[in-house]
Structure 1
Amino acid sequence: MNAKDAALLNLLQNDASLTLERLADAVSLSVPAVQRRIKRLRDSGVIKGNVIIVDPAAVNMSMTFIVIVELERDRSEQIEAFRRKAMKEPLVQQCYYVTGEGDFVIISIARNMEDFEAMTHRLLFEDSNVRGFKTSISMGKPYKTLYVPIEES
């Protein structure tokens, strides 16, 4: 990855709606050169997709929960089964398989405690491989980003 690719990625991470013309101007390349670079970054898997970011509070999903999940068994098939189940749960935003306390850390949103409780029943209580879980509730507005600082390599 060279400096131009890194600059394009940093710009696009901050605003994926930038036009090719604005990107080309910012990195001192032609529009076709920027288009080719972006296509190459997509084709190689560096760029995974484009998203919009929705304010959860604006759609009445203002509660954020951090859940540490401990499994009964650590066999790979049980770990993968839980990961797949968590990925299908609409209220789960992030799911990490971790070392240390617990086996998974889940970041979940919900409208209220009742919605969260229903999710815990679907995802956790009804799973015989879940030994237990601990929940923390986010206080105030969280800082969130998916930005990855890119430097030329």
Structure 2
Amino acid sequence: MDLTDADRIILGMLQSSARERLENIAFEAGISLATVQRRIRALKEHGFIEKDVSLLSPPAMGFKMTFVILIELERERLDQLDAFKRKIRAEPQVQQCYYITGDADFALIALARDMDDYQELTHRLFFDDSNVKRFRTSVVMDRSKVCLDVPVDV
């Protein structure tokens, strides 16, 4: 599926707010309301739109601390990588997980209510896993930019 200019406008507006009124999108894109609905359905079917979500405030939800964690595994066999990824995906306090190159094998963004909560998280994820060689943690001092926006070149 090739993106049209109207598709890029739709994606840009929905990325800013998934609750954007379809009438506003139609006006900005210069297309009919029915066309907007068809294009959104097609964009979802072709994987351009993965899901519609609401962003929650970690501090408002009691998660006052954010951590960047670099993990080095002992062994990188495919089955062990898959097992680690499954464990990380199942952990609600991990917001993001990246399999990376360089000194570490994985980079995580994780939340905790306080340092005791973080310590419990490290025991669940790292200390109880014999394949975790080491991990390094940085405490986030300020959330300067938090987003998952993708440039749409409008």
- Indicate the TM-score class for this superposition, using the shorter chain for normalisation: over 0.9
State the shift of 1:143 in Å.
Answer: 1.3
Q: Which runs of 4+ in 1 moved over 2 A?
A: none
Greater RCO, 1 or 2 (C-alpha within 8 Å, sep 6+): 1
- The farther-off stretch of 37-46 and 141-150 is 141-150
State the shift of 1:7 in Å.
Answer: 1.0
Q: Can you list the C-alpha shifts for 1:28-72, whole angstroms capped at 9, x where unaligned?
A: 110000000000000111100100011111111120000000000
Structure 2 length normalisation: TM-score?
A: 0.96
2:35 counterpart of 1:33: yes
Paired-residue identity, %: 43
2:61 counterpart of 1:59: yes
How much is the aligned-residue C-alpha RMSD, in angstroms?
1.0
Structure 1 length normalisation: TM-score?
A: 0.96
- Could you tell me which runs of 5 or more consecutive residues in structure 2 were left unpaired when the two chains were aligned: none
State the shift of 1:151 in Å.
Answer: 2.7
Question: Which one-letter code corresponds to 2:51 in the other structure?
Answer: G
Selected match of 1:118 from 117, 120, 128: 120
Q: Tell me the distance in 2 between the aligned counterparts of 1:57 and 1:74.
A: 35
Selected match of 1:73 from 72, 75, 82: 75
State the shift of 1:117 in Å.
Answer: 0.6
Q: State the partner residue of 1:6.
A: 8
CA contact 2:94–2:108 (8 Å) conserved in 1: yes
State the shift of 1:150 in Å.
Answer: 1.0
